[in-house]
Chain A
Amino acid sequence: MRNCIKSGSLILVAVLGVGASYFWAEVPTRGTPSLKYDSATGHLKEVAFDSAHNGRNDSVAYMDGTRVERIEIDEDGDGKVDRWEFYDADRRLQRASFSRQHNGVLDATAFYGADGEIQRVEISTAGDGRFNRVEFYQSGSLTRVEEDTNGDGRVDKWETYATGPGGSSEPRIVVAAFDDAFRGSPTRRFVYSPNGTLHVEVDPDGDGIFEEPAAEN
């Protein structure tokens, strides 16, 4: 029986280790993990554990047997979930949701590619459940932002970003476009050069062709 228990746990550990290369690294654990099983299937259902190694079980993994479905983390110990991590069948992080204000309200979700790199982040800037801002990333760097600033369900601000060589510096805006008429396409845009100068262009008729603004009378 003891051998059976050991082999079972080793199998589970091995299965959990697939797809998580860092699994075998020595990760100290100070809290006392607790486990719950599904009474009908006998499968492992929940594991509460200490991810911060501070003696408190701050994380709960929701599982179906060895499959990790999601992990909820209470980072500040106030009893409210601050982060939700969702994994695929290969235990790769698919997306992580955040309560940016640590109030238990999910107001941002980051999506990751198969390579583990961040792809995009959807944000509810007001924390009201309307996800009105999307940040797009490439090779770990911010490339553009789309935002619905007036809550009509349509994007009215577009920002395009550039970083230094190899993403070596914080991103800066190279083009910012605005839809002041709330028609669904930009009415004007600012084009920023690397030396900081600003060029203004407008598209009053919405044909997608930007031109110099008309001289003011």
Chain B
Amino acid sequence: MKKMLCLALTVAMTHSGQVLVAQVQNPGVITGAVVDVKGVISGTVSSSVGRPLSDITMQLVDARGQSMGKTVSARDGKFTLPAVSYDTYTLQCVQKDKVIGTSSVTLKAPTESVKITCTSDVVAFWKKPAVIAGLAAAVVAVGATAFVATSGDASGSR
């Protein structure tokens, strides 16, 4: 039992994501080192209309608001950030010096995949012109032969 204790390896994670690796060599004596365990956050950025966004600066910010690393999204919207310690971060989409999207990311494994939605160039998509004008044109095109209505009846019945 004593021998087993001597070989026991203690691993504990601190609140800041660091890992304490300690070895009990003799009863009452602990030696070891604090190892900063890191992981990588990667993912895809798209606009709320579902289009992958390229050339967006993806910036990772810690709880204090300090930048912890950044990268630029590829043509397919994919990005991979530099390795950081296990912790909770805010991921920001930055375009033309404006923050246009955010996401809270908790890194607690060697890799973390994120899908983040940003609001670049979205308004025009939702404002597509309604096609009812085309319907009216179609009615005009076929109206002379396709519609039959009794006099004064606007029900569209034949």
Contact = CB atoms under 8 A, between A and B. Distances in A.
Centre residue among A5, A6, A22, A63 by max chain B CB count within 10 A: A5
Contacts of A147: 117
Interface stretch (B1-9, B18-26, B33-41, B140-148): B140-148
Interface of B: 48-50, 61, 63-65, 88, 90, 95-104, 106, 115, 117, 119-123, 125-128, 130-158
Contacts of A8: 147-150, 153
A41 B153 CA distance: 14
Interface residues of A, number: 87
A87 interface: yes
B88 A180 contact: yes
B65 A190 contact: yes
Contact of A27 (B48, B97, B136, B144): B136
A118 B123 contact: yes
Contacts of A71: 130-132, 135
Contacts of A25: 133
A4 B151 contact: yes
A101 interface: yes
B151 A47 contact: no
Interface in A1-26: 4-17, 20, 22-23, 25
Contacts of A145: 119
B144 A5 contact: yes
Interface of A: 4-17, 20, 22-23, 25, 27-29, 33, 35, 37, 41-44, 47, 49-51, 53, 59, 61, 63, 65-66, 68, 71, 73, 83, 85, 87, 91, 93, 96, 98, 100-101, 107-108, 110, 118, 121, 123, 125-126, 133, 135, 137, 140-142, 145, 147, 149, 156-157, 159, 161, 170-173, 176, 178, 180, 188, 190, 192, 196, 198-200, 213, 216
A123 B157 contact: no
A142 B147 contact: no
- Sorted nearest first, the 6 A-B pairs with minimum C-beta distance are A8-B149, A9-B143, A100-B50, A49-B138, A51-B134, A33-B138
B4 to A, nearest CB: 35
Contacts of B145: 5
Nearest to A198: B65
Contacts of B100: 170-173
A43 B136 contact: no
A88 to B, nearest CB: 12
A117 to B, nearest CB: 9
Contacts of A96: 126, 128, 130
B156 A44 contact: yes
Given A27-B134, A41-B157, A87-B132, A100 B139 contact: no
Given A68-B132, A125-B117, A135 B48 contact: yes
B131 A172 contact: no
